[in-house]
Amino acid sequence: MIEFRNVHFQYEGEDAPALQGIDLVVPDGSFLAIVGHNGSGKSTLSKHINGLLLPTEGQVLVDGLDTKEEKNLLSIRQQVGMVFQNPDNQLVTTIVEEDVAFGPENLGVAPKEIRRRVDDALQKVGMSAYAGSAAHKLSGGQKQRVAIAGMLAMEPKILVLDEATAMLDSQGRQELLQTVYDLHQRNGMTVVMITQYMEEAVMADRLVVMSGGKLVMDGTPVDVFSRGKELCDLGLDVPEIVRIRDDLIESGICLPNFILTDSQLAEALCPLL
């Protein structure tokens, strides 16, 4: 479980706080998406989860461990895998399997166990066939999946993705999202996913919206995306399918208001045609 207790954070030398009174509980096994306009504090919040940043005021607890206590940091960082935006900044060695082994090697894990973890992690992200490949020759999406494998080899409980799909093409995005979704569904991985794409946020079971360093909306994607006007006031949009759904409802077509994806819309429309 991740717990933010009234967290405030201010970057050194800055006048305005980047986080203002964040209270947030993310239970084990949940999938949380975070959206918000540029500069709303999403990355700052995510860096608090593994103690890369420490609250100026308040507390962050990961599995009950306070990130402010130095002795907890190693354990917290093993539990929380972070994946960032730029695929080229995340791989540290030249060969894929060496890269995945890097984390557990640094933890002093035994070689036989490292082998098992590397094979297992590459298999989970669908990259086993590339174990011996040169990392720089991979596509952006493949690099991000190898970065996730590198995290998995540390056996984390939580995966935090900060706009991890932002620099990927459409296929790379789809593959990465599917990988993350499968890890959540099949392995019970807790996922915190920051995204600028509303279409991606519908995958989560909970969606929070940030603005000005605060959490301003919190609910299921169905709830949050039913509040289009508020989102618009925050400079955000609803997924295109939601707009089409609402236009159809407004024009008199009877559709359930939980529709968030194209396949759900197609399923609801087909019998009406």
Report the residue number, 57 or 105, with the smaller CB distance to ligand ATP.
57
The listed partner (Mg ion, ligand ATP, none) that binds 251, CB under 5 to 8 Å by sort, is none
Query: 43: which 2 tokens?
Result: 């990355």
Query: 224: which 2 tokens?
Result: 């949050």
Report the residue number, 97 or 163, with the smaller CB distance to Mg ion.
163
The yes or no reply on residue 267 touching ligand ATP (CB under 6 A) is no
Closest approach of Cβ 43 to ligand ATP, in Å? 3
Residue count, binding to ligand ATP (CB under 6 A): 11
Report the residue number, 44 or 90, with the smaller CB distance to ligand ATP.
44
Closest approach of Cβ 19 to ligand ATP, in Å? 8
The angle, 0 to 180 degrees and rounded to 10, between the axes of the packed helices 170-187 and 111-124 is 120
Query: 55: which 2 tokens?
Result: 């609250």
The listed partner (ligand ATP, Mg ion, none) that binds 44, CB under 5 to 8 Å by sort, is ligand ATP
The yes or no reply on residue 15 touching ligand ATP (CB under 6 A) is no
Q: Which phi and psi (to 5°) does residue 204 adopt? A: -80, 160
Of 24, 30, 43, 81, the residue at the interface with ligand ATP (CB under 6 A) is: 43
Do 116 and 108 contact (CB within 8 A), yes or no? no
Alpha helix segments (H runs only) across the chain: 42-49, 73-79, 96-106, 111-124, 140-152, 170-187, 198-201, 221-224, 228-233, 240-250, 262-269
The yes or no reply on residue 30 touching ligand ATP (CB under 6 A) is no
Query: 133: which 2 tokens?
Result: 């490949």
Cα distance between residue 183 and residue 96, in whole Å: 20
Closest approach of Cβ 243 to Mg ion, in Å? 25
The listed partner (Mg ion, ligand ATP, none) that binds 11, CB under 5 to 8 Å by sort, is ligand ATP
The yes or no reply on residue 43 touching Mg ion (CB under 5 A) is yes
Of 14, 15, 70, 250, the residue at the interface with ligand ATP (CB under 6 A) is: 14
Report the residue number, 42 or 245, with the smaller CB distance to Mg ion.
42
Do 114 and 155 contact (CB within 8 A), yes or no? no
Name the pairing type of β-strands 2-9 and 158-162: unpaired
Of 24, 26, 40, 153, the residue at the interface with ligand ATP (CB under 6 A) is: 40
Name the region of 255 (left: φ>0; alpha: ψ -120 to 50; beta: rest): beta
Binding site for ligand ATP (CB under 6 A): 11, 14, 18, 36, 38-44
